[in-house]
Structure 1
Amino acid sequence: MGNNDRTLNYIIEEMIDTVKNSKDEVFQIAEDSRKEHENLSKELAILKEEVAIVIDEGDQLDKNAKLARQKLSTVSKNFHQYSEAEIRKVYDHAHHLQTELVVTRKKEKNLRERRDEIELRLKSIEQMVERAEGLVGKISIVLNYLSEDFKQVTDLIHDAQEKQQFGLKIIEAQEEERRRLSREMHDGPAQMLANIMLRSEIIDRTYKKGDIDNAVQEMRGVRKLVRDSLHEVRRIIYDLRPMALDDLGLIPTIKKYISTLEDQHPNIHFSYKSFDQRLDSQYEVALFRLIQESIQNAIKHAEASEIKVNLDITCDRIFVGISDNGKGFDQSQKKEKSFGIIGMQERIEMLGGDVRINSIVGEGTQVFFKIPLNQENIHAN
């Protein structure tokens, strides 16, 4: 490696450290804002209850003060019928009620102002969190590009134009994937958890009022929300990386993945030959993603009605064949989405394998790839 390469790697490492620190700082700002939002939301709920109580107290005091003033007016007109002590008592009572009314209305005004301030602050915090989340997503894309793609820049200069386009497409795909994940988290678990927090506050207030039946009913609803949130989180995690891949291995995970597609696509046939031993994690992850991407391409792009997946693992090689009866494509023409094929080739080449794709318009597509193995890549269960 020349001096230029070492200098470039040093610059890239410095950039990566700087971007990581920036990402951590933005994330911490978002977390602190969320905590402040939670605390202010609780304070706002309490304030709203206090405002309602103070309004009721003020209205009642207003009625009592009016009655006291009427009584005082009657006594004043007929003062000769009352003793001095009685007149003073009526006057003191009316004055006391009027003073309490003024104090209560002042308290109501202060509470309303504090409530309005908190509501404005909550809106500001929500906007800040949204901007911070957007920045974290963008920084993550930059960080991923720096740490993964730039370090291979020496190898990527071969066929520079195609590699550049592929890199840009990868960044677009990563950004879109992060947008999708952000939307799923915001519309799914985040909304559910926010609802759970709100419902738990309602349960607390209901229980304190002694309404046990309604409190128990609300708790049942919260329990269902928790179950739904857990299910949604597990689904998102599985999309990112199936936990079954680590626990059960490659073939059970492929079966599980295909079973999740049965509702929308029942005609996926999976056949395999393999031994009982496990492959290195990088091989299992790569094979699962390659098969997953090939199936998704057949469903979404080829609009296939039948898909066949064949996996054959021996002690010295892996062979995979995926065929579909979809609409196929003209291999002589470069498609906008051909970066998917390039990405597949890149993944297979990293494992020392090769890929072959056959497709005819109207007659489906066949994808074959072969990856060499040695004993170092195979482990006992």
Structure 2
Amino acid sequence: MKHTDRTLDYIIDEMIDTVKNSKDEIFEIAEDSRKEYQTLEQELAVLKEDVAVVIDEGDALEKKVKLARKKLAEVSKNFKEYSEEKIREVYDQAHQLQTDLVVTRDKEKVLRDRRDEIELRLKSIEQMVERAEGLVGKISIVLNYLNEDFQEVSDLISDAYEKQEFGLKIIEAQEEERRRLSREMHDGPAQMLANIMLRSEIVDRTFKKGDVDSAVREMRNVRVMIRDSLYEVRRIIYDLRPMALDDLGLIPTIKKYIRTLEDQHPNIRFQYQSSDERLHSHYEVALFRLIQESIQNAIKHAEAKLILVELDISCDRVVATITDNGKGFEQSEKKDKSFGIIGMHERVDILGGDLDITSKQGAGTRVNITIPLEHDNNTAN
């Protein structure tokens, strides 16, 4: 499953990188287009000036050509009055002016065509830049969705894998609990009952022999063994489900549970605020197991010297806070065997509550549990 997670993350990262690269490429195209636009604008400004100059030159030449033609017509009409050299001079001047005019008009046409071409190109670039900017904006939105939604998908899949693994762990834990109970029943009450049966036979034989004092001593031993067996059976039943929880309620059960831990941890303090009303059984069971799990984590894993359990039961919610001064842990480092915490989250989620765990290496751990109570149905029947 971890390999699948890595593969999915790789695919998502590759997709996001591809979109990012596409966005960068479009942005570069837009920037290059802007630079080209600026260059063409400068060229267009020069061209417009050149076109204006060439037009003025052409208009001036047209006037000169008209005068030259008029002069040429006059010379042709009065041919005999002008010398051959003068006639050639007038003709050459008219021809030269006409040639200059044609060249100027051609130059004007070339400049005008280039001007029109640049203006069309500028409009095209302007539209392309607008489209590129629009695409960059849309890709940015898509990229945000990809980053957020794919992260949610990845988290959901990871959460599904985690829950599946947690489910398998629950099955393993159930089987292990059955094996443990089987061993405890076999090594504890079952052995004790077998010994009681054996000692009772000894009592019977001793009594029949007439040794009443020995029979009485054996009977006392049998009573001790029966009392120990009864204690062991009650201890096993308490581990499965504390009887005090049904009989007395949550707070007395927590007190009793903490007293049973005095040999393991003498510094567990319990503070509470509550009315005399009982909570529904499912609230009491869940809260007891959550507090029990938090205390056990503090004892077994945190190696805490002091554990403080605070419980505040109001009309609309229950707030439980378990604080220890143990070694703590880095919350960013996810541990493979954090199924106890996952189970706590599952219990709290079922009741619509919140579980907040704050811890830091060397600075202890604080578990804050908030569970809302149903107003119409928050007390035991």
| TM-score, scaled to structure 2 | 0.57
Residue aligning to 2:177: 177
Amino acid at match of 2:367: V
Q: In angstroms, what is the RMSD of aligned CA positions?
A: 1.7
- Conserved? CA contact 1:157–1:163, under 8 Å: no
SS at match of 2:319: strand
Alignment of 1:110-129 (within 5 A): none
Q: Take 1:326 and 1:305, find their aligned partners in 2: how far apart are those partners? A: 7
Q: Shift of residue 350 of structure 1?
A: 0.5
Structure 2: tracts of 5 or more residues without a match: 1-155
Alignment of 1:98-247 (within 5 A): 159-247=159-247
SS at match of 2:322: strand
Residue aligning to 1:313: 313
Q: Take 1:256 and 1:376, find their aligned partners in 2: how far apart are those partners? A: 30
- Conserved? CA contact 2:244–2:252, under 8 Å: yes
Residue aligning to 1:288: 288
Cα distance per residue 1:224-255 (max 9 Å; x no partner): 11111111111111111111111111001111
- Conserved? CA contact 2:353–2:371, under 8 Å: yes
- Conserved? CA contact 2:330–2:360, under 8 Å: yes
Q: Shift of residue 280 of structure 1?
A: 0.5
Residue aligning to 2:369: 369
- 1:270 matched to 2:270: yes
Amino acid at match of 2:178: R
Residue aligning to 1:119: none
SS at match of 1:320: strand
Percent identity of equivalent pairs? 77
SS at match of 2:332: coil
- 1:258 matched to 2:258: yes
Q: Take 1:278 and 1:377, find their aligned partners in 2: how far apart are those partners? A: 11
Cα distance per residue 1:86-145 (max 9 Å; x no partner): xxxxxxxxxxxxxxxxxxxxxxxxxxxxxxxxxxxxxxxxxxxxxxxxxxxxxxxxxxxx
Q: Take 2:175 and 2:288, find their aligned partners in 1: how far apart are those partners? A: 22
Q: Take 2:301 and 2:268, find their aligned partners in 1: how far apart are those partners? A: 16
Alignment of 1:65-80 (within 5 A): none
SS at match of 1:326: coil
Residue aligning to 1:122: none
SS at match of 1:315: coil
Residue aligning to 2:142: none
Q: Take 1:270 and 1:235, find their aligned partners in 2: how far apart are those partners? A: 22
Q: Take 1:376 and 1:179, find their aligned partners in 2: how far apart are those partners? A: 41
Amino acid at match of 2:333: Q
Q: Take 1:285 and 1:188, find their aligned partners in 2: how far apart are those partners? A: 27
- Conserved? CA contact 1:277–1:378, under 8 Å: no
SS at match of 1:271: strand
Q: Which moved more, 1:275-284 or 1:173-182?
A: 173-182
Amino acid at match of 1:285: V
Distance 1:158 1:337, change over 3 A: closer
Q: Take 2:183 and 2:377, find their aligned partners in 1: how far apart are those partners? A: 38
Q: Shift of residue 212 of structure 1?
A: 2.0
Q: Take 1:271 and 1:263, find their aligned partners in 2: how far apart are those partners? A: 20
Structure with greater Cα Rg? 2
Q: Take 2:159 and 2:329, find their aligned partners in 1: how far apart are those partners? A: 24
Distance 1:157 1:182, change over 3 A: farther
| TM-score, scaled to structure 1 | 0.57
Structure 1: tracts of 5 or more residues without a match: 1-155
Q: Shift of residue 380 of structure 1?
A: 6.5
Q: Take 1:282 and 1:164, find their aligned partners in 2: how far apart are those partners? A: 24
Q: Take 2:377 and 2:314, find their aligned partners in 1: how far apart are those partners? A: 12
Q: Take 1:157 and 1:248, find their aligned partners in 2: how far apart are those partners? A: 43
SS at match of 1:336: coil
Alignment of 1:28-67 (within 5 A): none
Q: Take 1:183 and 1:351, find their aligned partners in 2: how far apart are those partners? A: 34
- Conserved? CA contact 1:355–1:367, under 8 Å: yes
Q: Shift of residue 215 of structure 1?
A: 1.6
